[in-house]
Amino acid sequence: MEFDDVADDIERVVVTPEDIDRRLIEMARQLETDLSGETPLLIGVLTGAVTMMADFARHLRIPVTMDWMALSSYGNNTESSGQVVVIKDLTENVSGRHVVIVEDIIDSGNTLSWLLGHLENRGAASIKILTLLRKPDAMVVDVPVDYVGFDIPNDFVVGYGLDYAGRYRHLRGVGVLKPAVYGGEA
């Protein structure tokens, strides 16, 4: 889906499909260099990271394996808490593996902070974190992020895997949702 198709719902464009493509290529070259010959296990958190994983992995010119987790965080609807429940666990054994967590967005950092501890406990040899987007002003837990595509303002965004009420994940770029769409002020 293109921005033109959702022109009534999007307040402004944050990242274009061209920006994303260019940045993913840069990040892929950098990760390849930093891994120095290791075959990493890429771990994606469902569902938001599906788009990022599919595009990023295809830019890589080294062998990788992939695995997925589905997580849910307790707490009220609008704020994530540090309490995370595993809905779908990994299939692969992470013990001794060089793990790269591939994320769509880091907001509070709560989910990622929990995931880091979880993978450390399971004996990962190393853990790198790669994300397309980060909201520095929203971070409440300090998570060491190795690769950031774009730092963005603390607005609610959709597209490129990110949803509102399950919608907009298939928008090619990332944009700020009009508050009117989710019942806020116009």
Our CA dihedral for 52, 54, 55, 60, rounded to 10 degrees, sits at 110
**Of residues 143-182, those binding ligand IMP (CB under 6 A):** 156-158, 162
**Number of residues lying near ligand IMP (CB under 6 A):** 15
Segment near Mg ion (CB under 5 A); pick from 46-54, 122-130, 136-144, 166-174: 46-54
DSSP string, 46-109: ETTTHHHHHHHHHH--S--EEEEEEEEE-S-SSS--S-EEEEE--SS--TT-EEEEEEEEESSS
The answer to whether 48 contacts Mg ion (rule: CB under 5 A) is yes
Least separation in angstroms between residue 106's CB and ligand IMP is: 5
Q: Is 151 a catalytic residue?
A: no
152 binds, among ligand IMP, Mg ion, none (CB under 5 to 8 A by kind): none
Residue nearest Mg ion (C-beta atom): 48
The answer to whether 40 contacts Mg ion (rule: CB under 5 A) is no
Return all residues near 56 (Cβ < 8 A) that are at least 6 apart: 24, 27, 28, 102, 130
Distance CA 177, CA 159 (A): 9
Least separation in angstroms between residue 107's CB and Mg ion is: 9
Segment near ligand IMP (CB under 6 A); pick from 12-20, 25-33, 86-94, 110-118: 110-118
The residues of the shown chain that bind Mg ion, judged by CB under 5 A, are: 48
- Catalytic residue positions? 107
